[in-house]
Amino acid sequence: MERSVVDAVLTASRTLVGVATRSLGEAAELTTIAQYRMLVVLASRGPQRMVDLATALDVAPSTAGRMTDRLVRKQLVRRQRARADRRSVVVSVTATGRRVVDEATARRRVLIGDILAQLPAGQQQAIASAFAAFAAAAGEVPEHLWPPAPAADLPSAGAPA
């Protein structure tokens, strides 16, 4: 792999981190970037066993557990025992947590649209194709394939697992 290719993507990633940070808006006061990423994983993939969530986030299960504790207290996720295996803990996004993700995504869409508007249409399409391939290679779930948002928040099983 050419260093120039990696460097170009690295530079673009810094831009996207800046856009992501700005897009959080009020959510930045509620969550860290890592916690927000957990919300996105849960919104995009549906309820996850704690061990699978840790794997998706590339963190230790204990770290995922602490992140979950914080997000449960903020009522952005809920945690419950799995029905099939009571030893297993399942984490899901609440309607409030999904709203945080959806609002940040809407703001991010505007910010990205403003940047893309500065480029010719052909470059816009090339970037879209390249990023779609990049996201697929990274295992990211396209937004149109996300499960539906929760209808309403129910009382959470907030006791630490």
Query: What are the C-alpha distances in Å from 96 to residues 15, 58, 125, 146, 155?
Result: 28, 24, 34, 16, 12
Residue 105 CA to residue 92 CA, distance in Å, equals 19
Q: What is the CATH number of the domain that holds 37?
A: 1.10.10.10
Q: Has residue 156 been placed in a domain? A: no
Residues 6+ apart with CB under 8 A from 68: 38, 50, 53, 77, 79, 91, 161
The predicted pLDDT at position 79 comes to 95
Quick: pLDDT tens for 3-22: 999 999 999 999 999 998 89
| Prediction pTM value | 0.82
Q: Has residue 157 been placed in a domain? A: no
Where helices occur in 24-49 by DSSP H, the ranges are 27-30, 33-45
The predicted pLDDT at position 155 comes to 54
Taking residues 28-35, what's their average pLDDT? Answer: 87
Confidence of residue 123 (pLDDT cuts 50, 70, 90): very high
The predicted pLDDT at position 154 comes to 54
With vertex at residue 69, the alpha carbon angle to CA 67 and CA 73, rounded to the nearest 5 degrees, is 120
Taking residues 89-116, what's their average pLDDT? Answer: 95
Number of structural domains in the chain: 1
Amino acid at 146: W
**Residue 33: which domain range?**
3-145
Residue 43 CA to residue 59 CA, distance in Å, equals 18
User: At which residue do the structure tokens 């919104």 appear?
Assistant: 43
Q: Has residue 153 been placed in a domain? A: no
The predicted pLDDT at position 161 comes to 41
Q: Has residue 160 been placed in a domain? A: no
pLDDT at 81 exceeding the cut of 90: no
- Is the distance from CB of 103 to CB of 25 less than 8 angstroms? yes
Residues of the chain with pLDDT > 70, as a percent, come to 94
Taking residues 144-160, what's their average pLDDT? Answer: 70
Q: Has residue 152 been placed in a domain? A: no
Taking residues 50-79, what's their average pLDDT? Answer: 96
* Burial class, 29, CB count within 10 angstroms (exposed 0-12 / middle 13-18 / buried 19+): exposed
- Is the distance from CB of 80 to CB of 157 less than 8 angstroms? yes
Radius of gyration of the chain (CA): 17
